[in-house]
Amino acid sequence: MEGGQGVDEARPDQDFPADPYPGIAPGWSFVHDDATARRLTPDPGAAGGWRVGGRAHEGRALDAWLAARGAPPLARRVPVLAFGSNRCPSKITWLRRELGLAGPVVVLRAAVSGVAAVWAAGRRARDGARPATLAVVPPDEPPEVHGVWLATPEQVAVLDVCEGRGRRYALARVHAARVRGTDDGVALDPVLAYWPADAIRAPLLVDGAPVRCRDVAQERAITLEGVPGDVADGAATVIPSGSPDPRAWPARVFVYGTLQPGASAWWRLAPAARETWPAVAAGRVHDTGRGYPALVRDAGVGDALAPGHVVELADPVAALPALDAYEGPGYRRERVAVYRAANAADRSAAAPATAASGSSSEAELCWAWIWDGPAGDWPVVHGSWRG
């Protein structure tokens, strides 16, 4: 369930009770710490692409806010779908108190299609509630709204304990799910999720069909009678052990200078590339005068679009360290939203594509190397950079 549709920028846990399961979640993206959910607002000019606060260009960039608390930035986190109680702030505080969850928790509100939250065949041992699980559904059905944790490896380890990884659920990359942020329309898939691993967490079939959590409340769900259903083959790839490497998501980079196809350093990237296409990202490309450009993203970028190319990587974990070294200490690598160049005219900062729109102009996340300082008097490059 969702609540808190107002515009308050910080709300205490008591506004979002955990009982009855799955509890109440904010109707917006948030960062949670100190028993408080703080509203997040997308902002392409902010480090990491988000601000803590209710309006763009106000409040503090989320990455800076996290750094002030000694917490890792978004670039060191992985996307984990929260389809049950894990996007309820009171449940997050329970995880801190009972399982030692540490650090701020970032939860993005997202529209999800291809999979749905349904009631599981078994019950929770601690309170008898019927938990949620995932089932594959036709991709053209209306999306459900859930949360996506951008979780640190340490936070994933706590979720593993809570969800009974390897027993009740498996941690898996869910290929069947299509996930789009409701605030900015940016694609978040492929996401990780806790996928049913035994009959107890398999979907409950009543009259041969799973029962969606959004259609039946917990009070009635615990009275349902049925049988465990099958778990769809091929819908997800189980990760046997360990925490996923944040560098693996997404498996593509946005390049705008010497690493572009045909440019002077393309040879460094070409062996790792699987596919490439023209794209644009928010920001301005500046000519540093040193033989390479710099992509600048700040509060003044407005609707400015920087042209470049997306390069799909065969193995991002293997490729990124060498590319980081090539870019050097003047740049920081972060995830940015990009649009295919052919669809750039459809992009509107005032009305971004939404997950439900099906627009070809929806944004995808890519790694990009952003200039980590002021641009000074460097001239802006108009059109594609050549050098």
H or E element that contains 81: strand 78-82
Return the closest-CA partner of residue 317 out of 224, 236, 249. 249
Which residues is 311 bridged to in the sheet?
Answer: 253, 276
What's the distance, Cα to Cα, between the start and end of the chain in Å?
53
Tokens of 354: 């939404």
Domains in the chain, please, with CATH? 2-244 (3.10.490.10), 250-371 (3.10.490.10)
CA dihedral 142, 145, 151, 156 (to 10 degrees): -80
Contacts of 217 (CB under 8 A, 6+ apart): 20
293-296 vs 115-119, strand pairing mode: unpaired
Within 8 A by CB and 6+ apart from 132, the residues are 22, 83, 84, 85, 117, 118, 119, 120, 213
Q: What's the pLDDT score for residue 357?
A: 32
Comparing CA positions, the residue from 233, 214, 165 lying closest to residue 194 is 165
pLDDT in tens, 22-43: 999 999 999 999 999 999 999 8
Q: Name every residue whose Cβ is closer than 8 Å to that of residue 208 and which is 6 or more positions away in sequence.
A: none
Residues 8 and 100: their CA atoms lie apart, in Å, by: 28
- The helix/strand/coil state of 42 is strand
For residue 300, what pLDDT is reported? 58
| Per-residue pLDDT tens digits for 206-250 | 999 999 999 999 999 999 999 999 988 899 999 999 999 999 999
Q: Which residue has the higher pLDDT, 298 or 52?
A: 52
Residues 157-211 have pLDDT tens digits of: 999 999 999 999 999 999 999 999 999 999 999 999 999 999 999 999 999 999 9
